[in-house]
Amino acid sequence: MMFGILEALVLVLLKGFRSFVWTAVSYQLKDRLKLSPSASQFVSSIAFFPWSIKPLYGILSDCIPIKGRKGIPYLVIATVLSLLPWLVLGLNATLRNSTWHLMIFLTVQNLGSAMADVVVDAMIAEAVRFERASFAGDLQTISWLAMALGGICGSLLGGFALTYLQIDTIFLLFSILPAIQLLSCGLVEENSVDSNNSRSSQVVNENSIQDEDNSLGKKSDIGNLRRKKSQEQQTESSFP
């Protein structure tokens, strides 16, 4: 399960690296398609709308498990939704140079990215809850640092790539990252919902037994103190 945490942190790093391709998208909207600032903002607002409904993805994955699993199947679906738009836009110049088609494909891509973000956060939380609870306090900090590092690298390399590469090449290059993410999904083991429930019950039972043992230990200590005090009182009464 620890490998699952590391793999999820790598996905967070890749999420920050998205700035690499969005530099090229911004250039495509403003310089290639010659959109006005208001039109460019409209396209961006529609494209990023899937990030505004992230709670729905969490509810969907929790309420409707696929083959008894809540994480990996949805992560595969999300990764495919993130991968296909970049491949299509990189290979088809007609769709890439159409404002409406570009907006639709960017919206689908963000749908996959937002869903993957929710699933990865849930996988990290579950892994920490079962395996490394003491690590939970530092995990959020590490996740944000990984995303910030990915964002810095993505922005720097995105500007460099835009100077020397074509838009279609940048889209195709970036599609390699979702492809790697898709392959990595097969390396992470995930327990079924029933297995997780039984494991949670086991953890609760172990905690209950430990609490009961602690309670019995305290009662035993109190009894010993009372007996000792009674013996002392008897000793004092026998020697006036």
Please state, in angstroms and rounded to a whole number, the distance separating the CA atoms of residues 9 and 17.
13
- DSSP-based three-state secondary structure for 160: helix
Number of domains composing the chain: 2
One domain for residues 114 and 202:
no
- The residue among 190, 207, 232 that closes a domain is 190
One domain for residues 106 and 156:
yes
Please state, in angstroms and rounded to a whole number, the distance separating the CA atoms of residues 76 and 179.
10
Query: Tens digit of pLDDT for each residue in 143-167?
Result: 778 888 888 888 889 888 988 999 9
One domain for residues 148 and 197:
no
One domain for residues 30 and 43:
yes
Q: Which residue has the tokens 């600032």?
A: 37
Query: Tens digit of pLDDT for each residue in 41-65?
Result: 999 999 999 999 999 998 988 888 8
Look at residue 109 in the predicted model and tell me its pLDDT. 95
Amino acid at 177: L
One domain for residues 105 and 177:
yes
- For residue 146, the Cα-to-chain-centroid distance in whole angstroms is 12
One domain for residues 104 and 9:
yes
One domain for residues 100 and 210:
no
Name the residue range of residue 40's domain: 2-190
One domain for residues 33 and 53:
yes
Look up the CATH number of the domain holding residue 174. 1.20.1250.20
Q: In angstroms, what is the C-alpha Rg of the chain? A: 28
Question: H helices of 165-192, where?
Answer: 167-174, 176-184
Q: Is the dihedral of CA 168, 24, 89, 144 positive or negative?
A: positive
Please state, in angstroms and rounded to a whole number, the distance separating the CA atoms of residues 58 and 65.
11
One domain for residues 207 and 181:
no
212 pLDDT exceeds 90? Answer: no
The mean predicted confidence, pLDDT, of the chain is: 78
DSSP letter (8 states) at residue 51: G
